[in-house]
Chain A
Amino acid sequence: MSETLIRLENVSKTYGSGAEPAVRNLTLEVQKGEVLVLVGPSGCGKSTTLRLINRLIEPTSGRIYLDGEDVTDGDPSELRRKIGYVIQQVGLFPHRTIAENIATVPKLLGWDKAKIEARIDEMLELVSMDPETYRDRYPKELSGGQAQRIGVARALAADPDVLLMDEPFGAIDPITRDRLQNEFLRLQQELKKTIVFVTHDIDEAIKMGNRIAILREGSEIAQLDTPEAILAHPADEFVESFLGSGAILKGLTLKKVRDIELHQVPTLSSPVMREQALETLRASDDQVALFLDANDKPTRWIDERALNRTSQPIEKSGRPVTVDLQPEDTLQDALTVMLQSSVGMAVVTDRKGKYLGCCTIESLAKLIMSDG
Chain B
Amino acid sequence: MSQIAPSLKNRTPLSERLDLIVSPIFAIALAIIGGVVWLYSDLDDTTISILAPEKLQRQLVETITLGLASSLLVIAIAVPLGILVTRKGFPRLKNFLVDTLGLAQALPAYGLIVIFFSFMGAGITTVILALATFSLLPVLRNTIVGLEQVDKSVIDAGRGMGYTTRQILMKIELPLSVEVIIAGIRTAIVINVGMSALAFLVGGGGLGETINSGLKLDRAPAILIGAVLVAILALLFDFMSALAQKYLKPKGL
B-binding residues in A (CB < 8 A): 54, 56, 77-81, 85, 87-97, 104-105, 108, 128-130, 133-134, 137-143, 146, 149, 151, 154-155, 164
Contacts and interface: CB of A to CB of B under 8 A. Distances in A.
B41 interface: no
B162 A96 contact: no
Given A95-B250, A129-B2, 7 more contacts: A90-B153, A91-B158, A95-B175, A108-B162, A128-B1, A133-B2, A134-B2
Interface in B137-188: 151, 153-164, 172, 175-176
Given A77-B164, A97-B252, A87 B172 contact: no
A78 B252 contact: no
Contact of B162 (A78, A128, A133, A134): A78
B163 A77 contact: yes
Contacts of B164: 77
Given A94-B154, A95-B251, A139-B252, A154 B161 contact: yes
A93 B154 contact: yes
Range for the number of chain B residues in contact with chain A: 20 to 34
Contact of A94 (B2, B7, B161, B176): B176
16 contacts: A77-B163, A80-B160, A81-B162, A85-B160, A87-B157, A89-B153, A91-B151, A92-B154, A105-B161, A129-B2, A130-B2, A130-B4, A134-B2, A138-B251, A140-B8, A142-B5
B76 interface: no
Given A96-B252, A97-B252, A133 B4 contact: yes
A146 B159 contact: no
A54 B162 CA distance: 9
Contact of B161 (A85, A88, A128, A140): A85
Contact of B252 (A88, A94, A129, A155): A94
Q: Which of B1, B7, B154, B175 has the most CB of A within 10 A?
A: B154
B14 interface: no
Contacts of B160: 54, 56, 80, 85, 87, 91, 164
Contact of B156 (A87, A130, A146): A87
B253 interface: yes
Nearest to A105: B161
A95 B8 CA distance: 15
Nearest to A125: B2
Interface in B43-75: none
A100 to B, nearest CB: 9
Contacts of B156: 56, 87, 89, 91
A82 to B, nearest CB: 8
Nearest to B178: A95
Nearest to A109: B162
A88 B7 CA distance: 24
Nearest to B10: A138
B4 to A, nearest CB: 6
Nearest to B153: A89
A326 B207 CA distance: 86
Nearest to A54: B160
B170 to A, nearest CB: 12
A269 B212 CA distance: 108
A95 B176 contact: yes
Contacts of B176: 94-95
Contacts of A140: 8, 252-253
A125 B4 CA distance: 14
Given A91-B151, A95-B176, A146 B157 contact: no
Contacts of B8: 140-141
Contacts of A130: 2, 4
Nearest to B157: A91
